[in-house]
Amino acid sequence: MRPLLVLVLCLPFIAQAQVNQDSIMIKKMSDEILTNGKAYDLLRELTKKIGGRLAGSPQQQNAAVWGKRNMEAFNPDKVYLQPCKTPSWQRGGKDFAAVVGVNGKPTIQKLEVLALGNSLGSNGLIEAELLAVANFDELEKRKDEVKGKIVYFNSEFDATLVQTFKAYGASGVYRRSGPSRAAKYGAVGVMIHSLSSAPDNAPHTGAMVYDEAQPKIPAVALGPNDAKALYAQAKKGTVRVQMQTYGFFLPDADENNVVAELKGTEHPEEIITIGGHLDSWDVNEGAHDDGAGVVHAMEVLRAMKALNYQPKHTIRFVLFANEENGGKGGAKYADLAKTNKEKHILALESDEGGFTPRSIAVTCTPAQFARFQTWTPLLKPYGTEVTTGGGGADIGPLTGYDKNIIMSSMIPDSQRYFDLHHAKTDVFENVNKRELLLGAVNIAAFIYLVDKYGVNP
């Protein structure tokens, strides 16, 4: 029999052998994580011993020390810090808001509120008539009514969108730019419906960004139940409200990304990054956002070392500083990558919570995506598949200097995420150990396949 014919006949058997080998390796990783995983214990330490980790706070700095110490204990080839400057916004006091008049009649209805991140203080108690609008279009139509009023944006999630991150994206514009859009027409303050569909009254904070060309007015998010009630009142008549916030900025703080490395044996110059962000908001423990992503990265490192896995490519495990209100950690990581002329082939971020994993999402060329999809049968037993749309705030800056870097993300079930996101309810007790560990299993499996086969078709 001719050698070429023999090779053609053997190819299906070679391919099947490779699949079997991959299945065995992924099963080993899964067994190691599900039986000996430390992610849940690490998350307990991070949330209960350190707590909320607002950028610039002592807790955030302690978290970087904690992350470095724990990753060193896993004996990677290298662990180091990447210094960066981050904003140091302070809440400054207990935010307040209340309804004090309805249709000209005095009343007192205290509202559950949190100032939006980066919002400046109100310089005392503000009282004004409320102008409630459904969206920016209505604001523009009623711009002549805005001056001297507190504007309420009904930034409620679109309940018809099954993908809750799409609902968050659509509503999030009111948190980010609503205050400056209202200030343009003379508003003295802004209130929004918390970016949540939770049937409770816990307000959700989150970052806003001032347009430097407009006055910097204070802004708060209302608890969902209070927001709905207030909007209904305003649609029926005139409502007068009070609000007071205390936010201010200290000078930029000295923070650090924490980076661990496993050096590649065949392509050490090609880098695969896995990461999550250490910082959180001040009002919670940051368990899902993004303690889960932090311990996902740490657990994959631990499991690979426990199995004596030696990667072909260099794999980095990065705990980013300051995702929530500035993105300085991710920007510094990308700046250093550019300065050092590093070659990054893929970056994966876990920043959507520690719930049951559903997919690994990738942003890449159609040919690369077709290649990645062939791995779905290997991931399916652990609950995921390969889908489109990967990325993350911390890894995104990498594409600023190389558009060919593949962006990837762990996509857990999202239906409960925004019940907790940026609210006081994002605490350790609301994380399920099994779900958290399964997230690490799927990340480890995907990264193993990327490392073994590369990213090109």
Model confidence pLDDT, tens digit, residues 135-159: 999 999 999 999 999 999 999 999 9
Q: Is residue 130 located within the same domain as residue 57?
A: no
Q: Is residue 230 located within the same domain as residue 260?
A: no
CATH number of residue 183's parent domain: 3.50.30.30
Q: Is residue 196 located within the same domain as residue 306?
A: no
CA distances from 70 to 43, 75, 210, 260, 354 (A): 12, 9, 38, 10, 20
Q: Is residue 304 located within the same domain as residue 344?
A: yes
Domain extent for 199: 92-246
Q: Is residue 363 located within the same domain as residue 408?
A: yes
Q: Is residue 308 located within the same domain as residue 445?
A: yes
Cut 0.75: pTM above it:
yes
**Which residue among 202, 220, 246 closes a domain?**
246
Look at residues 111, 124, 326 and name the one whose alpha carbon lies nearest to residue 208. 326
Tell me what the mean pLDDT of segment 418-422 comes to: 98
d(CA 114, CA 231): 17
Whether 345 is covered by a domain: the verdict is: yes
**Which residue among 185, 213, 246 closes a domain?**
246
Q: Is residue 357 located within the same domain as residue 224?
A: no
d(CA 392, CA 397): 9
State the pLDDT at residue 457: 85
**Cβ neighbour number for residue 312 with a 10 Å cutoff:** 17
CATH number of residue 312's parent domain: 3.40.630.10
Model confidence pLDDT, tens digit, residues 349-389: 999 999 999 999 999 999 999 999 999 999 999 999 999 99
Place 15 in a pLDDT band, splitting at 50, 70 and 90: low
Number of domains in the chain: 2
Answer positive or negative: Cα dihedral of 172, 176, 182, 188.
Answer: positive
Let me know if 373 is exposed, middle or buried by CB neighbors in 10 A (0-12, 13-18, 19+): middle
Whether 104 is covered by a domain: the verdict is: yes
Q: Is residue 33 located within the same domain as residue 120?
A: no
Q: Is residue 323 located within the same domain as residue 183?
A: no
Place 11 in a pLDDT band, splitting at 50, 70 and 90: very low
